[in-house]
Amino acid sequence: MRLRIVTPLEIVVEDQEVTSLRAEDASGGFGVLPRHADFLTRLTVSVVSWLGGDGAERHCAVRGGVLTISGGREIAIATREAVPGDDLATLDQIVVERFRSETDEERRARADSARLHLTAIRQIMRRLRPEGRDGPTGL
């Protein structure tokens, strides 16, 4: 079988010789073997695992997504984010580090956005403020 895992920005995994695959949706874990019926499901945040043609087990952490099986030979996963890895322990560490990094980036982005809004409000207030204490001149 052929496996392709894609995000909006890149093709993360493209494996031409997959002998079996294991994934997880809302109903639980499931397996896929060659000649599987056409199938469509929404994946949970989980790890997709598969055996390559060389017998090696591979993994990819996905942040949800959609899995489709076509013609019993094509498996496609579209997800917002995917992190591939050959070892589950290493993959766990990579995902945790990426999560921490993204959390810090999100905090900085929120702080920058708040500063931008406050600056805009201050500028608007300066424009709306009367010129003198008694109000605008000439009234």
Give the pLDDT confidence of 75-125 residue by residue, as tens digits.
999 999 899 988 887 887 787 777 677 666 777 778 888 888 888 888 888
Cα–Cα dist 65/77, whole Å = 7
Q: How many helices (H) and strands (E) does the chain have?
A: 1, 8
How confident is residue 139, by pLDDT bands cut at 50, 70 and 90?
Answer: very low
Do 80 and 92 belong together in one domain?
A: no
Q: Give a yes or no: residue 81 inside a domain.
A: yes
Domain that holds residue 123: 87-128
> 84: which strand partners?
60
134 is a domain residue: no
Q: Are residues 97 and 68 in the same domain?
A: no
Task: Based on the fold, state whether residues 55 and 104 are members of the same structural domain.
Answer: no
Same domain, 53 and 119: no
pTM above threshold 0.85: no
In a domain, 119, yes or no: yes
CATH number at residue 62: 2.60.15.10
Name 85's Cβ contacts closer than 8 Å, sequence gap at least 6.
58, 59, 60, 61, 91, 94
